[in-house]
Structure 1
Amino acid sequence: RKCLLSRMDDNQVEVLEVSASNEIKKLDHIIKSMLGSMDGGEISTSAYDTAWVALIKDIDGNDAPQFPSCLQWIADNQLPDGSWGDDKIFLAHDRLINTLACIVALKSWNIHLDKCEKGISFVKGNLSKLENENEEHTTCGFEVAFPSLLEIARSLDIEIPDHSHVLQNIYAMRNFKLKR
């Protein structure tokens, strides 16, 4: 770099510095706008994670949730179609695992049963969409997490049919991964 600069006159160096400065400002603006679109870079609220936190029992031994605000968030954020998840884009894997987790959380505390029923209808009506979804859109670990959630749901008397071809494929993928 020093060799290149030593061959340049002062005007050329100044132009180069201005160009670099403008490029830095441009990149700074791009980064700030990207972070601004992500609410300051914070992680967005996850229905799945919120549902798991909502399952935590009160540390004082009461038969109550430790974090009732999580249950309220779940109740307040059900989408009109009965699901939970990203309202801007529909990805079947994401919507189904989020929805089942929220159903399990609400049913565990035996609250908002109307929302549970609406969620169950969504799950039953959309399981078949898993089969046609692009593999790139599959939630990481779905084939392990979703069957586990189904087992928890069944232990809470939540009826989700398990005889479908789609679910059989998911169970087979889970078993394959767990054997490795």
Structure 2
Amino acid sequence: MDGFEDARERIRENFGKLELSPSSYDTAWVAMVPSRHSLNEPCFPQCLDWIIENQREDGSWGLNPSHPLLLKDSLSSTLACLLALTKWRVGDEQIKRGFGFIETYGWAVDNKDQISPLGFEIIFSTMIKFAEKLNLNLPLNLDLVNLVNCKKDSTIKSSHYVSNKDTFIALLG
């Protein structure tokens, strides 16, 4: 485990030198990493602090919730932050406000006019399943959840098909 501590220290040193714009989505995933000493404690509690301190007024986390076409990004970021807070049982007020955002803007999940982050169908559907495992009852319409799951399956199948077709064409010639 000395390698773990060395890597962790190198990461801290490197991040201390850089000026990065924090990503709420990425921060949430880092916040979910458990400590190597206890699976019941976060490895990076400062990420949870950042999440709690950086929720937007409307209950979201993300790029720019006021931009009318970036709701899917805000929904993904918000859901990831809710997962992190729920996993470590902190931020009850933030979770409640995040639910409000998801309830208000959940319609955008299936809106074709919204800009979709890369892999949105797969990632959002997977986060919904993770929320279910955490007993986090998201305020999303069940029909919408089923539709997102179908789109995930369709996206995976079409990606697999395209990959196989391209491989086949490459082999032919």
TM-score by length of structure 1 reads 0.69
Is 1:158 the counterpart of 2:136? The answer is: yes
> 1:111-165 CA distances to partner (integer Å, 9 max, x unpaired)?
0111011101211221112333525x11100100001111111111211255444
Structure 2 unaligned blocks of 5 or more: 1-17, 161-173
Q: Distance in 1 between matches of 2:88 and 2:113?
A: 35
Q: CA deviation at 1:46?
A: 1.0
Q: Percent same amino acid at aligned positions?
A: 32
Is 1:99 the counterpart of 2:99? The answer is: no
Structure 1 unaligned blocks of 5 or more: 1-40
Q: Which structure has the larger Rg?
A: 1
Is 1:146 the counterpart of 2:124? The answer is: yes
User: 1:162·1:168 contact (CA, 8 Å) conserved in 2?
Assistant: no
Q: CA deviation at 1:168?
A: 3.1
Structure 1 partner of 2:54: 77
Note closer, same or farther for the CA distance 1:61–1:117 as it changes in structure 2 (3 Å cut).
same
- Give 3-state SS (helix, strand or coil) of 1:61's partner: coil
Amino acid of the structure 2 residue aligned with 1:113:
D
Residues 31-180 of structure 1: matches in 2 within 5 Å? 44-61=21-38, 63-87=40-64, 89-90=67-68, 91-134=70-113, 137-161=115-139, 163-179=141-157, 180=160
TM-score by length of structure 2 reads 0.72
Q: Distance in 2 between matches of 1:146 and 1:62?
A: 25
Question: Over aligned residues, Cα RMSD in angstroms?
Answer: 2.1
